[in-house]
A and B are shown apart, each in its own frame.
Chain A
Amino acid sequence: MEACTSNPKPGETLDYVVGSELIADVWDACCKAYKCRDFHETEIKKNVIIIAFCGSQKVTDFITENDFDECKINSYNQHFESMHDGDVENSKPALVRKLFLDRFLCMMQSSKLGDKIQQYQTGKKTEKVTEKKTVILAGHSFGGAIASLWTLWALEQRWENSPLCITFGCPLLGDKIFSRAIEREKWSPYFCHIVSRHDIVPRLCFSSLKSLPISKALDRLLPYWNDSMQKGDNQQKVQDGSHALPQEDSLSFIKQVIADTSQLVTHETRALVVGSANLVGGAVKCLIKRSPYRPFGYYVFCSSSGTACCIENTEAILQMLYFALGNSRQSGACIMEHIEYGKTIAQISKSSSLIPPCWKTVNNEIPPYWKKNENFSTDEVALALQLEAMGIGVQNVQAWLGLKIVEENKNKLTKNMDQQIIKLDEMQNYMAELELYKISCEKDGSLGYYDFFKMNWTKELPNDLPNDVKWINANKNRFKLAAFWDGICELMEKEELPNDLPNRVKWINAGTEYRLLVEPLDIAHYYRLGKHEDSGHYIAHGRPRRYKLLQKWLEDKEKKGEMQSKKRIQPAIFTQDSCFWARVEEVHSKTDEEKTCFTEQLKQKMADCELSKDVFLDDNTFMRWWKSYPNLSAQEKQSFSYKYPVMLLPSAEG
């Protein structure tokens, strides 16, 4: 098997697993799991452990309160902290299928599986386990969903190594927030969903559980699937297949699923096309109940002829889920393929033609169907290859268009990103100018740039540019930077930048730098214009969204433990709390108790070296308040001085 993904570690592991005999072992384990209650564990090779989850399902599980059986992922548990939409205020948690979450939580309590996975992954020494293992969590059908949740749980622990998840014919599990969160965390490569072209189960979640054709068919299909998997006898299955469901029911069942899938997919496609937002479709949107579920992770689609393609883009997966199924009238195949992954896998390993997600270079011979279209771009060739591999064919113009739209959208994101990166570089100039402004303001040693900006700019310093020129320049730079970051926020909101931007260290750093340097100026502007009298204090009523968002990016990253600031031994160049000056302005109107609290916080911040030197310049807003604050001893007041921290540290300890 050819391996040409350009993905990092997990992706390569995935290639290794799917493209080798290992995959057959994984499938075997999944079959065996049907005979267990919860899961089945085997060690194949050295240090490769497969934990397969049982996929059997009771019909009664499908009697649910709401149409799609969704619930918030953080209901009754705290395991999945990263699964939210990353919004600043009232961020929304992801939705997942309640059935699966309940079962996962139940397992979490009753079994020791969590500890076990931890031992394998972190290599903690116990009696039995002595070294780290590669763990593959796997499952067929509903077991796949459970395996996904366990993998997600393990990823949330942020160990050095994480297990890999492989599922066969797994139903969809989470909504769009869920899938975007996984993309944002760069966890997609840990999930590999293998889907047989016609398998109906992955598409089931697009239909309401309450619709009659669906529930009627599931009544019969679930026991049939369970039975066949438990028996594990291939020959007999084929015999029974046609009897499991009357022809008529199965037709209306498949038709319903196709109709619902088509609804959802065409709607999503349309939303991606620029400028079509105000079409009548937008109006219809709120009239149709659509399933919340979306795919996540990598999908490997397999056709019965032994070709397969791997797709990583959620939107493209959606398209493929529809078009691979939508063309067929083979209702038998839709039902049978769900339990025939053994065959499918055997076919693939025989023909060994997996098309990886980022197929770009045309180094093989060119198949005939696009020879006449020599001006196909490499992207288009890749698309054509995917379609051909699935047996859909490039002649299916709808599928072709759908995938093109998805790709165009992806390209747009990349293009936007490139533009913003160039702009970010430009912004560095303005940042540098503002830093110079800060330094020049502090020159005379009595005021910092905060007060300078807030005050009248007419006060002149010797041997320098006129102050009003400096002020207007600083203000211009502030404007430009604000416009840039507001633009970033807007693009993020419109989902026109890559989803993982808030997770990229480069952007977090740039944002934090900006916030620490420029937010004091915004605060100064706010209080200079007296806006606080009009609409209330800055932090509660006037703080621009961009700062909140940038701060959240940093906090989220720190919470994950992926970015830790070292302990400071010198005072910071910028006050680490960018709202510091707003707090100072606010403190005047506070009660005594709150004032005391504020001074306590200040002491702590000083001890941590989080305050910058410009806070202690003699005449500034803060020092003036501090000197006049009655509840402090003279010594304490003295300790706040320019010579900080040398003088300060002992008193802070004392």
Chain B
Amino acid sequence: MDVDLLNPPKFSVGQELGSLIATCGILTKAWEGICSISNNKGDSFLLVKDEDVAYVIFPSFHNEDFIVTDSKYGECNIQNDKIFSAGLKGDDDNPALVHKGALNRFRQFLENQDFKAKVEGLKEQAIIFVGHSIGGAVAALATLWFLEKRLRNSNSFCITFGAPLFGNAIIREALGCEDWLGRFCHVVCKYDIVPRMNLAPYESTAKPLDAIVPHWWSKMGIDCAAVSHFSISEACMALVNSVLKCTSTIANNYPGESGLRSPFVPIGTYMFCSTHDAACFEDSEAVLKLLHFSMQSQDGIPFDQIAGICISEHTDYGHMLEDIDGALLNARQFANFVSNSSFEIGIALELEAIGVGAQQDNHALFALRKAGEEKNEKDRNIEKLNVELSTNQSSMAELEWYKMRCKNNNIGYYDAFKQLVEKKDFKVNLHRKKLESFWDEIVDKEKKHVLPSDFRTRNKWINAGTAYRRLVEPLDIAYHYHTDKGHKSYLSDGVRPHRHIVLEKWMKEKEQTRTGGNRGRRGRTNFASLTQDSCFWAHLEEACKALVNLQQEQDINASLQVCVEFEKYVGSMITDKSISLEVFLDQSSFMIWWQQYSDFQSPQWKSSSSVFDFMAKEGWKKKV
């Protein structure tokens, strides 16, 4: 903790970012699009092209979008419709959930083939999906759908105005891994009720909504039956009241019944706007709290008025943008320095910008401070790991050297290490241990979320992890069979170290995302220097055991099956050259196994097996 005190976060630039986005003209254009689409009363989306940017604008909402029938908060499993890839499913206990109304609406767009063709055909440098209210949640799903396609180097973004929360923590995590969170920007008016609405269960908001939705319709320029003013203000009070109750539970961390918490969480960057300025926040927890605190009045406005504002601001983003633009020339002046630290000043600026006072005992302030400190810690953790990684390179080099030396003695390093004969091997074991604790720590930290969210998709770490796994896992396997005397298979449950499983998973996930891109894998022309499947030796050990069984005539069928499978496996590795030549060294245990195995097999097998052909011709000696 001492270190933390010495290295506090330095800056917090949410306010600068807010004014940058507010003034860059994108928001204004996006809002204009929304206004024009609701004037057309259309159900279809709108495509606006402006120089190199294409705006895909979704219509705001329909009455029925707000209605929830079969769940408490309006959530549903994202996999219901098979629109999104299986990568987004979460697990059985924690499925990936999204806003049902939005998902239904989005499915309708997708089924309308025109949408898919038009969006995929866009040639612009950047595509922005825009939506207001429920339309915003639809836009967010559309962005997600588009990002998953990984078309060219598509720059796609999402801008929403007053959109309800659209997904749960699983979705947020999945987006964080890909470093996509930055592509979502949710503009939220300080008092707008909709972004908070699905933090409260539907049953408590259903009734007032009946009255309010038509009111919003008329505000957005869509005809509907007139609603009496009285019933509106009544409904407003009721709606705001029940939402506030829920948000305050969440914001103050009151230990409400666990089932009562809405699954929805903020995903992406939230831009809170007051009448004079705006500020951006990234941290999901902090945003969740701000959703509550920013709704509380700082200016002494009576509650019934606030309730009215909460409803009216939902359709008032146009004015808000104008106001912020107009206030651009005013400088923020603090009579006194809040603090000497730039970080604290930054937070104070942010809070001032969104119209929440910056008193010292403010909960919002605490939330932001905590978010900043967490982020800072993540950054420093990764810095530390970077340094450690480079020092660990020397251990890797030692092992590499060990491998080379063994090869010169005509024995693979796997077999050499398994025998643990030479003194050098003990030194090797030390290096192995050192690397083991380093990677265990990383895997552990990643699990505890103290590393940046996209850590596991960063090329640098994937590559380092893969290099480590390929070089060192054979040693781990050797160690296992050396000490365990082979009672338990390395491949059986719970034996293979967790780090290797995780590292392999990361690599595979990354490779999956690459296939769509332009980085097609070149076929190998030479044999790999390290066997690409790091579990090769474990497979071999199992085949050895099976062969012993065969020779002793136990379990013949099953054992033969294992051996044949293994042969096939080796054959496929030879074809794509992903096997290392060291496997074919004279004293390699693979060669010994092969000798016995081919003795065991029938003559007609010899004529048909491609692996036999390869081995007989000593195909590894040929230069390709």
Contact = CB atoms under 8 A, between A and B. Distances in A.
Contact of B269 (A279, A287, A327, A458): A279
A401 B339 CA distance: 12
A326 interface: yes
A401 B393 contact: no
Contacts of A375: 340
B21 interface: yes
Nearest to A275: B379
Contacts of B227: none
Interface string B116-146: 0000000001101000000000000000000
Nearest to B282: A279
Interface string B379-419: 10000000000100110010001000100100000000000
B332 A396 contact: yes
A378 B188 CA distance: 41
A286 B282 contact: no
Contacts of A275: 375-376, 379
A417 interface: no
A283 B183 contact: yes
B334 A479 contact: no
A332 B509 CA distance: 61
B421 interface: no
Contacts, number: 148
Contact of A408 (B10, B329, B375): B10
B17 A270 contact: yes
Contacts of B184: 280
B364 to A, nearest CB: 18
B490 to A, nearest CB: 30
A408 B375 CA distance: 18
A288 B24 contact: yes
Contacts of B282: 279-280
B13 A286 contact: no
B227 to A, nearest CB: 37
Contact of B19 (A262, A273, A475, A534): A262
Contacts of A404: 11, 342
B329 A281 contact: no
Contacts of B346: 401
A259 B20 contact: no
A174 B179 CA distance: 34
Interface in A243-284: 255, 258-259, 262-263, 266-267, 269-270, 273-276, 278-284
Nearest to B529: A529
Contacts of A400: 345
B397 A405 contact: no
B214 to A, nearest CB: 34
A278 B10 contact: no
Provide the main secondary structure of the chain A interface. Answer: helix
Given A280-B269, A287-B53, A472-B401, A397 B23 contact: no
A468 interface: yes
B65 interface: no
Interface residues of A, number: 56
B329 A326 contact: yes
A231 interface: no
A386 to B, nearest CB: 16
Nearest to A323: B331
Contacts of B10: 273-274, 408
A327 B331 CA distance: 6
A255 B454 contact: no
A455 interface: no
Contacts of A282: 182
A7 interface: no
Interface in B157-191: 157, 179, 181-185
B331 A326 contact: yes
A479 B397 CA distance: 8
Contacts of A109: none
Nearest to B126: A287
A14 to B, nearest CB: 31
Given A258-B329, A483-B390, A280 B21 contact: yes
Contacts of A279: 17, 182, 269, 280, 282
A397 B345 contact: yes
A399 B184 CA distance: 28
A590 interface: no
Contact of A483 (B16, B157, B332, B393): B393
16 contacts: A262-B20, A266-B20, A269-B13, A273-B13, A278-B179, A279-B182, A280-B182, A284-B20, A397-B334, A398-B332, A401-B16, A401-B345, A405-B342, A479-B394, A480-B394, A533-B526
Given A270-B16, A280-B17, A280-B268, 18 more contacts: A258-B329, A259-B23, A262-B23, A266-B19, A269-B16, A273-B10, A274-B10, A281-B17, A286-B155, A327-B331, A375-B340, A396-B331, A396-B333, A400-B345, A404-B11, A404-B342, A408-B342, A534-B526
What 6 A-B pairs have minimum CB-CB distances, sorted nearest first? A280-B269, A266-B20, A275-B379, A327-B331, A266-B16, A395-B333
Interface of A: 255, 258-259, 262-263, 266-267, 269-270, 273-276, 278-284, 286-288, 323, 326-329, 373, 375-376, 393-402, 404-405, 408, 456, 458, 468, 472, 475-476, 479-480, 483, 487, 533-534
Interface of B: 10-11, 13, 15-17, 19-21, 23-26, 53, 125-126, 128, 155, 157, 179, 181-185, 268-269, 280, 282, 328-329, 331-335, 337, 340, 342, 345-346, 348-349, 375-376, 379, 390, 393-394, 397, 401, 405, 408, 454, 525-526, 623
